[in-house]
A = this chain, B = another copy of it.
Amino acid sequence: MKSAAGAGTPAERSPGGAGARDRDEELATLAKALGHPTRVAILRFLYRRGSCVCGTIVDQLPFAQATVSQHLKVLKDAGLLQGEIDGPRVCYCPDPEVLARARDLIEALPREGTNR
């Protein structure tokens, strides 16, 4: 870990100020979750349906249930999805705010030097 955590961190290698590094991490985390076509397809499908059960997503994709479940976990860990337990099934629904956060971070990227 070379992460800069702790009180009074110098953070000398931080072009753009202290908060910039945090935003770098945040954007990178969200982008990484979006960085696989299958996960994008899952998200798109969920936005079309509003929400649906894991099995339905598996049916839409040419991958095994275990693989889809892992992709869902990545999206959920990034906050892009929420999963609610519904009986023996799990209902997934997308979180538009987190996606909007990703969009805002990208949009702010060119402006941080001039504005903030």
CA distance A22 to B37 in the complex (A): 9
Chain B residues with Cβ below 8 Å from A60 are 13, 15
A91 at the interface (CB under 8 A from B): no
CA distance A80 to B47 in the complex (A): 27
- Secondary structure at the A interface, as helix, strand, loop or mixed, is helix
B110 contacts A94, CB within 8 Å?
yes
A68 at the interface (CB under 8 A from B): no
Interface string of A18-48 (1 = CB under 8 A from B): 0011011101100111111101110111011
Q: List the 8 shortest-distance A-B pairs measured between CB atoms, nearest first.
A: A48-B113, A32-B35, A31-B34, A28-B37, A24-B40, A31-B35, A35-B35, A47-B110
